[in-house]
Amino acid sequence: MNHFLDINKTSAADLHKIISEGHRIKTARKGLPKGTPDAEQPLANHMVALIFEKPSTRTRVSFDVGVRQMGGETMVLSGRDMQLGHGETIADTARVLSRYVDMIMIRTFEEATLLEMAEYASVPVINGLTDRTHPCQIMADIMTFEENNGPIKGKKVVWTGDGNNVCASFIHAAGQFGFDLTFAGPEQLDPEQVFVDEARAKGVNITIERDAEKAVQGADLVVADTWVSMHDAQSARERRHNLLRPYQVNDALMAQAKPDAKFMHCLPAHRGEEVTNPVMDGPQSLVFDEAENRLHAQKAVMRWCLGA
């Protein structure tokens, strides 16, 4: 049994195996209707709990479809259904769920909730997102880049905007997959220094650059994310827009990157804010490929968790 909690907590060898498995799974399904079961059914007779304290589109649908394609069944639970850590301790919830289901995916706020769930569950736990990290998204992103531009090792990735949870997992991935990452954003929104230091200790270059145009020079991949979250107050939204406006990804910025550079965004995107329509819908954009690959990469993660 393996938990998939963060990219930096999973060995590089296993991460590469998961990516390779994601490619294999995707290839095997080419041309099949979405509802067609996989030829292999590693989750047959398995029940998977999908817990959402935070709302979701891609995470919910991709995990639900992935479990079903691999022969399993899902139980989708919201924060209202469970009241995690309120009516019952997270530890007790983990123990109880482990008696009913074979695997747990949780999308939550506090990292501590995820860690306590994993500590007391006797079945695999997958991090579907916390306020601190988003590893499943980055596994899909690595898979997407490599199927278009080859191995990501030694490449230059540029993150523009807020050093948020998705950025944190990209920094984790830099250390594990061996690529360099430049963060281009305001000082107030820098990524956590502990993540930067850990990646640098593994021999990759993690650069902090305030000038967006300078940052993307020679980039193989440019990545953006939303400037505000759904929970931010209006005053916070206005402050963030003022801070982040110089880091918008547009045609002029992409022109500073390599000619074959790609653009990614984990979605949902606020078009006209962090990225313009011509970039989102242009030939360098991989945003919908990476959204699709959430399905295939997460199926590979689930198989790895179960040793299937």
> Which sequence positions are flagged as catalytic?
107, 134, 137, 225, 266, 294
User: What DSSP assignment string belongs to 152-219?
Assistant: -TT-EEEEES---HHHHHHHHHHHHHT-EEEEES-GGGPPPHHHHHHHHHTT--EEEES-HHHHHTT-
CB 173 within 8 A of CB 236: no
**Cβ-proximal residues to 299 (8 Å cutoff; 6+ apart), any chain:** 22, 25, 66, 69, 70
Helices 58-69, 287-306: axis angle to 10 degrees equals 50
280-304 b/e (C-beta count within 10 Å ≥ 16 → b): beeebbbbebbbebbbbbbbbbbbb
